[in-house]
Amino acid sequence: MEEKKLDINSIIGFVLIFGILIFMFYQNRPTPEELAAQKAKQEQVAAQEKEDETPLMTEEEAPLAINLQDSTAIANYKGAIGAFGYTTPTEGITTLENELVTLKIDNKGGGIVEAKMRNFVTFDSVPVYLVKDGNASFGLNFTTSDNRVLNTRDLYFEPSMDNNGENQVLSMKAKVGPDKYLEYRYEMKPNDYLVDFTIRSQGLNGVINSSKPVQLEWKLKGIRHSKSIQYENRYTRLTYSHEDGKISKLSEGKDDEETETDVKWLSYRQHFFSSILATEEHFKKAELSSQNLVEEESRTFGFTKVFGAKMPMEVNGGELSQNMHWYYGPTDVDVLKHYEELGLEDSIPFGWGIFGWINRYVFTPFYSFLSTYFPYGIAIVIMTILVRLAMSPVTYKSYLSQAKMKVLKPEITELGEKYKDNAMKKQQETMKLYNKAGVSPMSGCVPAFLQMPIFYALFMFFPTSFALRQKSFLWADDLSSFDTIYQFPEGFSIPFYGDHISLFPILASIAIFFYMMMTTGQNMPQQPGMPNMKFIMYLMPFMMLFFFNNYASGLSLYYFVSNLITIGIMLVIKKFILDDNKIHAQIQENKQKPKKENKFQRKMREMMEQAEEQKKTGKK
């Protein structure tokens, strides 16, 4: 029997590739003069970015600007808005605040102009804002009975604060008379991210032209919160519930728009935080849009996407009345599951199909349980160990299949030499050998296929798990983002790799390389016309090094530990469980037993025989 030996040439090859990469990093590092030029260019680009930032609203959509110190301007303003000029224009901000979130509502427009998370900060320790400095716009477009087209963004509302038990209640009224008004009503509960929001009117029958549509418009420009804007943007997306709970999304990578019916809620998700508008009476129609603002990685650019929605509102008896809810808070399953009646938990990107089911109902609660008892990085290691142990029977089946194929390799090579000029005959005889020996060349693929749902579910779990956000482990200061052991000088970046070196992806790539050596490196015949498998064995870890450099360090940690454990399991199987001599003896015994072909094998054999016969006939 052939002795399995560590291929020292393979190790040297991988080390050389890695060494060349490091050499390229330092050989191509910029000189001080180039750094100065790059810094100047960076400042120019930043200034250009500020100038080129996509405005939230066009000039036509922007609210009317008036000077409240100018009586003539006020008179002109009141003349423009007609009956709603009854309300005296007064500047002012009203604050709703609890233990979790602070909301500021402006008298002008009556909408939320600031939403701040009280318990969370960004990567650079600034409080997380979902709404700030005019990045959001909310208003109703409607036509009055005297044919004025108005938007509530232009109207001044009168604020009135009250309490409903422990709840804070803010009433914002744009009046046309003492008891006639359009009202926005906010009710904030203690220790809750969800704010009840009602739009209603009183006495506006005859003021609003109900024959013309009343349209709700909501726009938001996503504020950057993470150190990698490209990575954050990858998980920034407009998600919505419609048609009896169906969940759909606009594109995360390009501009997109859609028109939907029966919309229950809209989520403007900004990776780990979400701005959600939910309604109790579904919107019959919604025109949705998403504009991507991120073209490349940048340390300075501050926005990810612009989201927009236009939805007609029902006018009954000349009046408006719609109960809704605002949610400004974390995209965290532990928080959103409390709003089960609204289905907000479905806005989290668990993945599709069975992959999402595994992520949502297995890995998410399992990791949540582990992290209550262990530090977050240790919890990942423990979860990885338990997952790999649970999958060890699959690993055993895969390794057994490889061992059988290795035992048969001399006979397969012999058949290849014997029928090297007749590919069809070689294939027929190889299939006969497999059948006699009781070996299936596909048996090693089945275990790998069974592991795919686990692989994909975990691939979605780590980048989107709020529990990992800003949790440190070893040298990684945030398991939901990449770890950095070396930051390239400002302005210097390697295409497809980034402007930093992450250690966990390097460790994971090395572990993947050794795993591939053990699983595929021992039996890699080079087939004519087929790619060089050893080259692929070197290339795969190298590609993973580039791919994972900007991904969540928790994901790289998982792959590193997972492959180490798998290698350990395979070494145990090799040393203490499987015996090549016994496998060889079993195969020889199987060859002596009569074998009954199944339908698939018989069909394949008949097809090959027919092809061989046609080939012979053609030669004659």
The pLDDT of 158-175, averaged and rounded, is: 94
Kindly report the number of other CB atoms within 10 A of residue 620's CB atom.
4
Of the listed ranges 236-245, 265-274, 286-295, 435-444, the one predicted with least confidence: 435-444
pLDDT of residue 567: 84
Confidence band for 577, pLDDT divided at 50, 70 and 90: low
CA count, 13 A, side-chain hemisphere, 463: 23
pLDDT of residue 250: 94
pLDDT of residue 528: 46
The pLDDT of 519-527, averaged and rounded, is: 52
In total, the chain counts a number of residues equal to 620
The pLDDT of 327-337, averaged and rounded, is: 94
pLDDT of residue 463: 83
609 pLDDT higher than 80: no
pLDDT of residue 219: 96
pLDDT of residue 586: 59
Sign of the Cα torsion 116, 121, 124, 130 reads: negative
More confident residue, 211 or 419: 211
> How many angstroms separate the CA atoms of 462 and 482, rounded?
11
527 pLDDT higher than 50: no
Q: How far is CA 166 from CA 326, 376, 435, in A?
A: 18, 35, 76
> How many angstroms separate the CA atoms of 227 and 229, rounded?
6
Name beta bridge partners: 310: 217, 287
CA count, 13 A, side-chain hemisphere, 558: 29
Confidence band for 112, pLDDT divided at 50, 70 and 90: very high
Q: How far is CA 396 from CA 387, 388, 392, 406, 568, in A?
A: 14, 11, 6, 15, 12
Tokens of residue 461, six digits: 């779990």
Beta-sheet strands, E only, within 107-243: 112-121, 127-131, 136-143, 149-151, 158-164, 167-177, 180-188, 194-202, 214-223, 236-242
620 pLDDT higher than 90: no
Instruction: Report the range out of 275-284, 480-489, 591-600 with the highest average pLDDT.
Output: 275-284
Q: How far is CA 353 from CA 75, 328, 349, in A?
A: 60, 28, 12
The pLDDT of 57-63, averaged and rounded, is: 59
Residue 507: phi and psi, rounded to 5, are -65, -40
List of residues 6+ apart from 46 with CB closer than 8 A: 300, 301
The pLDDT of 228-257, averaged and rounded, is: 91
- Average pLDDT of the chain, as a whole number: 80
Helices 503-519/8-27 angle, 10° precision: 160
List of residues 6+ apart from 81 with CB closer than 8 A: 148, 150, 154, 155
More confident residue, 360 or 534: 360
The pLDDT of 571-598, averaged and rounded, is: 62
351 pLDDT higher than 80: yes
279 pLDDT higher than 50: yes
The pLDDT of 457-485, averaged and rounded, is: 88
Confidence band for 529, pLDDT divided at 50, 70 and 90: very low
293 pLDDT higher than 90: yes
194 pLDDT higher than 50: yes
Confidence band for 48, pLDDT divided at 50, 70 and 90: very low
- Cβ atoms 462, 558 nearer than 8 A: yes
Confidence band for 131, pLDDT divided at 50, 70 and 90: very high
Helices 423-437/580-592 angle, 10° precision: 100
533 pLDDT higher than 80: no
Q: What is the CATH number of domain 71-349?
A: 2.70.98.90
> How many angstroms separate the CA atoms of 606 and 168, rounded?
79
Task: Render 554-602 in DSSP notation, one character per residue.
Answer: HHHHHHHHHHHHHHHHHHHIIIII--HHHHHHHHHHHHHS-----HHHH
> How many angstroms separate the CA atoms of 482 and 194, rounded?
31
Domain boundaries, the chain: 71-349, 365-483+549-601
Instruction: Report the range out of 278-282, 479-483, 493-497 with the highest average pLDDT.
Output: 278-282
Q: What is the dihedral of CA 544, 548, 550, 555, to 10 degrees?
A: 180
The amino acid that residue 195 corresponds to is V
Query: Tens digits of per-residue pLDDT, 197-225?
Result: 999 999 998 899 888 889 999 999 999 99
- Cβ atoms 478, 123 nearer than 8 A: yes
Block residue for tokens 């604020």: 159
DSSP secondary structure code for residue 339 in this structure: G
The pLDDT of 107-122, averaged and rounded, is: 95
108 pLDDT higher than 90: yes
- Cβ atoms 121, 330 nearer than 8 A: no
Query: Tens digits of per-residue pLDDT, 430-470?
Result: 676 666 655 665 555 555 666 677 878 888 888 888 999 98
Helices 376-390/364-371 angle, 10° precision: 130
Radius of gyration from C-alpha coordinates of the chain: 32
Name beta bridge partners: 199: 184, 322
In terms of Cα–Cα distance, which of 211, 215, 176 is closest to 318? 211
More confident residue, 127 or 448: 127
More confident residue, 140 or 66: 140
- Cβ atoms 261, 285 nearer than 8 A: yes
Determine if residue 244 is left, alpha or beta; phi over 0 gives left, psi from -120 to 50 gives alpha, anything else beta.
Answer: left
Kindly report the number of other CB atoms within 10 A of residue 571's CB atom.
11
Of the listed ranges 101-105, 171-175, 392-396, 426-430, the one predicted with least confidence: 426-430
pLDDT of residue 64: 63
Helix (H) or strand (E) holding 265, with range, is strand 256-270
In terms of Cα–Cα distance, which of 190, 184, 521, 175 is closest to 320? 184
Q: How far is CA 188 from CA 166, 169, 265, in A?
A: 9, 7, 19
